[in-house]
Amino acid sequence: MPELPEAETIARQLHAVLADRYLGRVVHVRSDMVYGDMRPIQKTLPGLRVKLAYRRAKRVILELSNGRTGGPMAELVFALGMTGRLTVCDTAEPIEKHTHLRVAVAGEKRELRFRDPRRFGGIWINQATEPRSVEAAKKVRTATARERRMSGTKHERQMREPRSGEAAGGKQLPDRILSPLGPEPLELTAGGFRRVIRRKRQIKALLLDQTAIAGLGNIYCDEALHAAGVHPLTKADVLSQEQAGRLLRVIKTTLRRAIRFNGSTLMDYRSADGEPGSFQNQHRVYNREGQPCRTCRRPIERIQAAGRSTWLCPTCQPQIWVP
């Protein structure tokens, strides 16, 4: 399942190849994967210019502007779900099954494709609510500046609201919600993180909660908890200030390292150029049951935490029991 590093990798690559390009004809779209603006996407996208691509949590977003006036028009939001894949490829390349959106790049023999075999992801079209300068847009490749500007704005609230409506032909679409998002882990301060974890919840469950901290998933939670020496079943509110500070530091370090390796490919994930990530070769616990811990050599164990398979080292991550 694509998490923050995978979404960041895709967004950076899309920005490199699509910024200042115009979108052409929508070659194919599965309408029941599109939400937000209910106007036909075939009429909405052609002629718009990609101003920038960026990431918010696990989502990849294209900011689109009017090709003639340069004013803001819309944002195309891709929720990758479990198996979502965004690529830019030659139009002559074979079309994989479960490709739900194909948009031509105007004047080029390339197109943007969105594929999602399990269809837990989706595509949202949101109207832009405020203009962005070109200079500011060019600084948003890592999204951090924009995330600060977006925090609490009308745009952010709009992305949180349920979306439903009618597709072409009057077919009623089911409600699909872009869920509320917490702060970005790469932007969290020590004080902000301590406020987040002042809850009587298992620390892994809390880290996976996108309304608490946005962007973390199963892989990077397990890797960060191991690096911090924190057992996944530990209650968040019993962590000391030192433990909390260490956990935040290793969350950031783990995510940044994973971004440098273009994310982790275990099954479906590919970057925007179709290549797999390589951070899976650096995993210290995730999916390594029975293999020796890279720190103490004790075999890695797998348990259930927050309803998910969870990998840990029982020596490096002793559980803290609280009466």
Are the beta carbons of 181 and 189 closer than 8 angstroms?
A: no
- 40 noted as active-site residue: no
> Residue 225 has which token pair?
């908890």
Catalytic one among 108, 249, 308, 314? 308
Give the integer Cα–Cα distance in Å for 297 and 303. 18
> Could you give the dihedral angle defined by the CA atoms of residues 48, 159, 222 and 259, in that order, rounded to the nearest 10 degrees?
20
How far lies 225's CA from each of 84, 106, 261, in Å? 26, 45, 20
Residue of 224, 217, 242, 192 whose CA lies nearest to 316: 224
Catalytic one among 2, 5, 185, 232? 2
Half-sphere exposure of 107 (CA within 13 A, CB side): 6
- 252 noted as active-site residue: no
- 58 noted as active-site residue: yes
3-state secondary structure 152-211: CCHHHHHHHCEECCECHHHCECCCEECCCCCCCHHHCCHHHHHHHCCCCCEHHHHHHCCC
DSSP-derived 3-state class of residue 272: coil
- 46 noted as active-site residue: no
Catalytic one among 3, 6, 75, 223? 3
Are the beta carbons of 7 and 80 closer than 8 angstroms?
A: yes
Q: Is the Cα torsion angle 190, 233, 264, 122 positive or negative in sign? A: negative
Catalytic one among 51, 58, 146, 204? 58
Sequence-distant (≥ 6) Cβ neighbours of residue 43 within 8 angstroms: none
Are the beta carbons of 177 and 163 closer than 8 angstroms?
A: yes
| Residues facing residue 312 across a β-bridge | 301
β pairing state of 48-56 and 59-66? antiparallel
**Catalytic annotation, residues:** 2-3, 58, 308
